[in-house]
Amino acid sequence: MDYRKVVVNNVISYRQLLQIEKSFTEESFPDESGFLIKEGRIPFLVSAPHSVSQIRDGKWKIGEHRSGIVVEELQRLTGCYSIYKTKNNQEDANFDKKSSYRDAIINLVKKEKINYLLDIHIMSPNRPYMIDIGTNRGKNIKSQYRIIENLTHSFQQNEIQDVKVDYIFTAGYPYTVSSYVAKKTGIIAIQIEINWNLLHTPNGNMTDFYKVCNSLRQFIVERIKETD
């Protein structure tokens, strides 16, 4: 699917979101690699390794489909690089010791001289907070906590107030995407867990979905301006 042909206006509509989501739920992408990379024009990469279902320890896990849509929106709005899973190829890129998805990120970061990675995930609506930013206790961001303060502020400016850092999802496991990429390349790599309540668009209400996308868009744009 050509995302830009689906989203014809400046912001994605509810109908467009459902149409794109269907590609993730049905895994109906034409590629054979199991993931899709889109080229960007700024040294920033956004990732959704769980955008389709995956296998972890032999057990099937449902995909975090709208994480892929968030990544597509950020790529469209900012011109960043993007990567997301398109098929369940019997691996979990955020858990397994070996992962073709993580290897592709490493190669892309080195080839394109990318400086930042945002790895996007969705957490249960039962979590009593909205965002959990994982930094591996600072190791994945070179202890540059001002960057996390900027990210938190971006969420708060868009009325997303309950933001935690390294609370439950710390991205400390060595084979999480952000931890692995940070260690192998030395770039700033941040994991973001988004509460499903912000993304599930009840009765077609896209307000919170837009707030999430705008928070991350704002953060990406400001990071690039500051490092230019």
What does the alpha-carbon distance between residue 148 and residue 142 come to, in Å, rounded to a whole number?
11
pLDDT (tens digit per residue) in 73-82: 999 999 999 9
Question: Mean pLDDT score of the chain, rounded to an integer?
Answer: 94
pLDDT average, residue stretch 22-27: 96
Q: What percent of the chain has pLDDT over 70?
A: 96
Note the pLDDT tens digit of each residue in 149-182: 999 999 999 999 999 999 999 999 999 999 999 9
Handedness of CA 29, 32, 33, 36 (dihedral sign): negative
Q: Per CATH, is 3-227 categorized as 3.40.630.100?
A: yes
Q: Classify 55 as helix, strand or coil.
A: strand
Separation CA 24–CA 190 (nearest Å):
23
Q: What is the pLDDT of residue 10?
A: 60
Spatial neighbors of 97 by CB under 8 A, at least 6 apart, are 175
Q: Return the pLDDT at 157.
A: 96
For residue 132, what is the enclosing H or E element? strand 131-134
**Looking at residue 139, what DSSP letter applies?**
G
Q: What is the pLDDT of residue 227?
A: 80
* pLDDT over 70 (residue 27): yes
Q: Which of 34, 105, 44 is nearest to 75 (CA)?
A: 44
